[in-house]
Homo-oligomer: A and B are copies of this chain.
Amino acid sequence: MKIQPEIELNATTEEKIKEAARRVFTSKGYAATRTRDIAEESGYNLALINYYFRSKEKLFDIIMLEHLQLFIHSVMGIVNDPETSVHEKIELLISHYIDMLIKNPDLPLFVLSEINANPVKLAAKLGFGHVERGNIYLVKQWKELTAAKILPNVNPLHILMNVLSMTIFPFVASPLLRNRTGISQEEFNKLMLERKKLIPVWINAMITTS
């Protein structure tokens, strides 16, 4: 029986396999990807994939966990910053997201699909860094502003949904949108970059007129 390889020394090949797996999983989903696809995509062979990660499911879990951690960590970093205003936070969130999504366009559809396919299993993974709502700095700021009547008393969940929707959904619907409108990938990205400035303005408009 061979011994688990020194992971520190092999970070490169292990990383390569994980990167390949990430690509295949995100483009085809868990059920549709075969371990052999990952082997082919990574340039290594099937035996080595299982040698490093034991099973398809374990490899998937690692990748999904890293995605969720990265996602939540980066959002929390912005949302919990005491130095920025509410409007700055919204701008930063949108800008940060769109840049990330232009690099990884099929990430949200992948994550949302897998959560939908297996909500119970992924609920555990989602619970890891559960911060109490009241402790989030953005929430405090929002409450202060509504108390001072500077912001209208809308359910902030609606505003959150609107920010996330207008930012993320175009990427989720991108294949369909491009099919129906005939615009190219580059034109689409240009539109998304425009939205980095537009969405905060729109959010502002809907907040101040409610």
Q: Interface on A for B, CB 8 Å cutoff? A: 27-32, 106, 109, 111-113, 115-117, 119, 123, 126, 155, 157-158, 161-162, 164-166, 168-170, 172-173, 175-177, 179-181, 183, 191, 194-195, 198, 201-202, 205-206, 208-210
Contact = CB atoms under 8 A, between A and B. Distances in A.
Contacts of A181: 157
Contacts of A109: 112-113, 116
Given A117-B29, A157-B191, A158-B191, A205 B209 contact: yes
Contacts of A117: 27-29, 32
Dominant SS at the A interface? helix
B166 A161 contact: yes
Given A117-B32, A175-B116, A206-B202, A162 B157 contact: no
Contacts of A157: 181, 183, 191
Given A166-B166, A206-B206, A209-B205, A172 B175 contact: no
Nearest to A30: B32
Nearest to A198: B158
Contacts of A161: 166, 169-170, 177, 191
A117 B114 CA distance: 13
